[in-house]
Structure 1
Amino acid sequence: MTRQAWAGTVDDGAADARPEGGRWAAARINLRTLNTIRWIAIAGQTVTLLTVEDLVGIDIPLLPALAVTAVSLLINLYAVARRRRSPFLTERGAVLFLGYDTVQLTVLLMLTGGLENPFAVLVLAPLMVGASMLGRRLVTGLTTLTTACLTLVWVLAMPLSWPTSNGVTLSPIYLGGIWAALTLSAIFIATYVYKVAQSGRDLSQALIASQVSLARAQKASALGALAAAAAHELGSPLGTIAVVAKELARDMPPDSPWVEDIQLLQSQSDRCRVILADLARRPDAEGEMEPYAPLGPVQVIEAVAAPHRRADVALEITVTGAEEGAASPLPLSPELQHGLGNILQNAMQFATTRVDVTLHCDPSALVLTVADDGPGFPVSLLERLGEPYVSDRDERLEQVPVRAGGGGTMGLGLFIAQILLERTGAVVSYANGRPGSTPVGAGAHVTVNWSGPLPAAQ
């Protein structure tokens, strides 16, 4: 039996946006930007090395210094060629790129006077670039590397050969002061630039999350209008089916083998009529705005699961944490009825022998887990559950027959159920169990987590 109805019938509030966001370490950094910065550095270094002796009269080891610059030139040419295949770097690649620039500047400074060189401050440039785009751990590592390089420049650099007429000799104490100033500057720049950049990233991700939430709300509203329109359009053909079924039942001999089928057709058409009437009902209809009486969490589960119970599937409800009497009550609202009802219906439908519902209650949170011993979710769809029009048709259709009445594979039910539960402040997540880890084994696990204000208090 495929898990199609799971994907088609039953998502993490903010995780729906998946701006994911997620970890900044997974960000991708434009290689073109780093290439351009390095080209500017190579050009400036080359011009300075070729003109400093004539303009200032300082004797420097020109060939070794040019060789260091030439290595950067070759590496940057390789990076440009690589950019055609992959125009982005991971954070790890970017920190290696900037770390090399720091080391290259360090070697140049050691050949050209160290901290006596007025261009020593440029060793902070790669750190500033890195702090604007890397994560905290890598920025800390790059700051440590920069500090170590400044220390090497202070201790091991070759002194400048000033002309005799206007030579300058800096005292070790003054050079130590320059080292301390540059080191403190490195720490300050790294901290400040990282904080400013992180604030910008957080704001951008919050904007993305709000845009995605708005888009999801618009989709849910459109689906509600579609449901009302569908209920209206389907009313006439469903009425015709009911009339024909009634006439067939009246004309059918009592001993006919088709009697049970006709009765099933009548009962299902009546059920469809009730469902369509519920979909078409206006939210401001009489009595619709009355508050729903709060019930204990176990009572809510039992009430929601009642229409979907199967005689051959056991429903086990377990409460952990607070005692049931002390658990915060929940209103039996339409969101809970339809959202949890969808989850429980599909758990019952795909379970082999049992469905386990676990409630963990404490004063500030309620965690509900629904697990069944069925086939579980297709692994390839786990990350996409909660999105509309998700289907495992191609992957699973040929493996096991679909249960009759299992529903479609468009994923709208899962999307709608999650939207409804999120309106109550819940976060929904999906997983498959591990064989032998629980009584239901490797079946599907759906977790609904209310933290902070519970639905009854909202």
Structure 2
Amino acid sequence: MRGSERQHNLWYDRLRPAWSPTLSHDATNKNNLLLLVQLRWLAVCGQIITILFVGFGLGVDLPFLPMALILMALVALNVFSLLRARSQSALTNTELFIQLLLDVATLTAQLYLSGGATNPFISLYLLQVTLGAVLLQPWSSWALVALTALCFILLSLFFQPLALPHLHEGGLLQLHIQGMFFCFVLTAGLVVLFLIRASSNLRARDARLADLRQQSAEEHHIVRMGLLASGAAHELGTPLATLSVILNDWKRMPLFSKEPELTEEITEMQGQLARCKAIVSGILMSSGEARGEGMVRTTVTGFFDDLVAEWRASRSPRHLVFQNGFTPDAAIVSDLSLKQVIFNVLDNAHEESPSWMKVVTMRQGDNLQLTVTDVGKGFSQEMLAEIGRPYRSSKGRPGGGLGLFLVVNVVRKLSGTVSARNRPEGGASVTLELPLSSLSVKGSGNGH
């Protein structure tokens, strides 16, 4: 059991996803903070327009200087919030709570300077409570409710009364109703705008989490297959070694040495046996054993020249066109897992199109691009839609589709992409694109 557990840990370290729900939640918090910043800019513009209209349009004597200072503080808070949203550190619920508390504080200060609870814009507290209910955890949302209620009570007791123009009672009531109407329109518009955007952020987060869960399930599937493969490789080691000894003994026996045909067949069997042992060694290296031996420092051009030459020698395709157009060359570190991934793509193309295939490598900025083209029957639309899903294959045999599934997941682990398409003139092409940083000596520390 200890050997099995060790293999499991090695495979899991190589293939586990570099994500967590916490990271996705932090991204949602930062998106919501940016949305809060946008609403705050609207609030600043709305307050400026309202203050100017009430002060100069209605002739109400307002304390312009203190109100301007509060607006400047709100602008400074917004600038700080923008910088915070772009930082790398996680954004917590407490920080969002403090952001909304500062919004409540500035609103309370403006209301204190403009009539307190008699100001029709006091219902803007409901906007703060709505934001808190969506953005914050339950305890902080209820705390915000309690604080805004307390501010309402205090503003009904302590405030600076407004010097309103001399209007009769009906005129004052009409002015108050107009203020309430504008406040209602403003609050309703901002609430709808915020809820639509916040809901979009939440849906995007849920979709991202669903993709990550699917990716995690696929990578754990690879771990299980890796355990099976490495276990089978261990079990096959002994009988292969026994067969190798027997064939060597047979080749030295006079009975066989006198028969040239038998000797030739024994030599062929030894060659095939050596290939089987190489495959078993490759499986063990890819699963983590002899790991240092499996990693090779090379260049992109040298890697693909050697890889295609080896594949051509072992598979003997009828017609293979190879164009190594990667320039300028770059140093990389490769191991057997990367080599096996590309072998899988070449094997699939050769099986589908044994008469002709083409392999092209090129450089696209800081990425390596490999395209394998064939003249087979191509992919079905269902296959194109589910490229890289396990057991999705048009070959109709048990285990079909695992090769491309492994290709997609290993390439994704290296921060690359795999795409497939059908060619208009017939056949299909599969393109692998890998960032050179993930193949470099520095990047190989985590990727290999």
**TM-score (norm. length: structure 1):** 0.49
- Residue 270 (structure 1) aligns with: 274
Q: Over residues 75-125 of structure 1, what are the superposed CA-to-partner deviations in whole Å (9 max), with x where a residue is unaligned? A: xxxxxxxxxxxxxxxxxxxxxxxxxxxxxxxxxxxxxxxxxxxxxxxxxxx
Match of 2:322 among 316, 328, 333: 316
Alpha carbons of structure 1 residues 262 and 392: separation in structure 2 relative to 1, 3 Å:
farther
Alpha carbons of structure 1 residues 388 and 353: separation in structure 2 relative to 1, 3 Å:
same
Q: Over residues 189-238 of structure 1, what are the superposed CA-to-partner deviations in whole Å (9 max), with x where a residue is unaligned? A: 33200221122223323333333333333222222221111012223444
- Residue 411 (structure 1) aligns with: 401
Q: Over residues 370-395 of structure 1, what are the superposed CA-to-partner deviations in whole Å (9 max), with x where a residue is unaligned? A: 2122232344333333223334345x
The 8 Å contact of residues 387 and 411 in structure 1, kept in 2 or not, is answered as yes
Alpha carbons of structure 1 residues 183 and 233: separation in structure 2 relative to 1, 3 Å:
same
Partner Cα distance (1:333, 1:181) in 2 = 66
Output aligned runs, 1:446-457, within 5 Å: 446-451=430-435, 453-456=437-440, 457=442
- Residue 341 (structure 2) aligns with: 339
Q: Over residues 303-333 of structure 1, what are the superposed CA-to-partner deviations in whole Å (9 max), with x where a residue is unaligned? A: 22222213521223153xxxx4435443223
Percent of aligned pairs sharing the same letter: 23
The 8 Å contact of residues 237 and 280 in structure 2, kept in 1 or not, is answered as yes
Task: Report the Cα offset of residue 186 of structure 1.
Answer: 4.9
SS at match of 2:296: coil
Output aligned runs, 1:179-328, within 5 Å: 184-239=186-241, 241-242=243-244, 247=250, 251=256, 254=259, 263-281=267-285, 283=288, 285=290, 287-288=292-293, 292-296=296-300, 298-309=301-312, 310=316, 312-317=318-323, 319=325, 324-328=326-330
Partner Cα distance (1:360, 1:311) in 2 = 22
- Residue 425 (structure 1) aligns with: 415
| Counterpart code for 1:235 | G
SS at match of 1:326: coil
| Counterpart code for 2:428 | A
Alpha carbons of structure 1 residues 251 and 312: separation in structure 2 relative to 1, 3 Å:
same
Partner Cα distance (2:374, 2:302) in 1 = 20
- Residue 31 (structure 1) aligns with: none
**TM-score (norm. length: structure 2):** 0.50
Alpha carbons of structure 1 residues 342 and 259: separation in structure 2 relative to 1, 3 Å:
same
- Residue 388 (structure 2) aligns with: 386
Alpha carbons of structure 1 residues 365 and 180: separation in structure 2 relative to 1, 3 Å:
farther
The 8 Å contact of residues 327 and 363 in structure 2, kept in 1 or not, is answered as no
Gaps of 5+ in 1: 1-12, 15-127, 133-167, 398-407, 437-441
SS at match of 2:409: helix
Match of 1:367 among 369, 380, 390: 369
Q: Over residues 260-290 of structure 1, what are the superposed CA-to-partner deviations in whole Å (9 max), with x where a residue is unaligned? A: 666544422221122113323473538437x
Partner Cα distance (1:187, 1:368) in 2 = 51
The 8 Å contact of residues 347 and 371 in structure 1, kept in 2 or not, is answered as yes
Partner Cα distance (1:359, 1:174) in 2 = 73
Alpha carbons of structure 1 residues 294 and 214: separation in structure 2 relative to 1, 3 Å:
same
SS at match of 1:288: helix
The 8 Å contact of residues 370 and 447 in structure 1, kept in 2 or not, is answered as yes
The 8 Å contact of residues 328 and 363 in structure 1, kept in 2 or not, is answered as no
Partner Cα distance (2:317, 2:343) in 1 = 17
Task: Report the Cα offset of residue 336 of structure 1.
Answer: 2.0
Alpha carbons of structure 1 residues 286 and 212: separation in structure 2 relative to 1, 3 Å:
closer
Structure richer in helix, relative to its length: 2
Alpha carbons of structure 1 residues 294 and 253: separation in structure 2 relative to 1, 3 Å:
closer
- Residue 126 (structure 2) aligns with: none
C-alpha root-mean-square deviation of aligned residues, in Å? 4.6
| Counterpart code for 2:299 | L
SS at match of 1:358: strand
SS at match of 1:230: helix
Partner Cα distance (1:329, 1:214) in 2 = 31
Task: Report the Cα offset of residue 423 of structure 1.
Answer: 2.6
SS at match of 1:377: coil
- Residue 377 (structure 1) aligns with: 379
SS at match of 1:357: strand
The 8 Å contact of residues 256 and 263 in structure 2, kept in 1 or not, is answered as no
Partner Cα distance (2:434, 2:178) in 1 = 57
Partner Cα distance (2:272, 2:185) in 1 = 78
- Residue 358 (structure 2) aligns with: 356
Partner Cα distance (1:255, 1:328) in 2 = 49
The 8 Å contact of residues 425 and 455 in structure 1, kept in 2 or not, is answered as no
SS at match of 2:321: strand
Partner Cα distance (1:329, 1:430) in 2 = 27
| Counterpart code for 2:197 | K
The 8 Å contact of residues 357 and 370 in structure 1, kept in 2 or not, is answered as yes
The 8 Å contact of residues 317 and 357 in structure 1, kept in 2 or not, is answered as yes
SS at match of 2:378: coil
| Counterpart code for 2:337 | E
The 8 Å contact of residues 364 and 454 in structure 1, kept in 2 or not, is answered as no
Larger relative contact order, structure 1 or 2 (CA cutoff 8 Å, min sep 6)? 1
The 8 Å contact of residues 388 and 411 in structure 1, kept in 2 or not, is answered as yes
Partner Cα distance (2:436, 2:235) in 1 = 42
Task: Report the Cα offset of residue 292 of structure 1.
Answer: 2.8
Task: Report the Cα offset of residue 448 of structure 1.
Answer: 1.2
Partner Cα distance (1:410, 1:341) in 2 = 16
| Counterpart code for 1:303 | D
Q: What is the aligned residue count?
A: 279
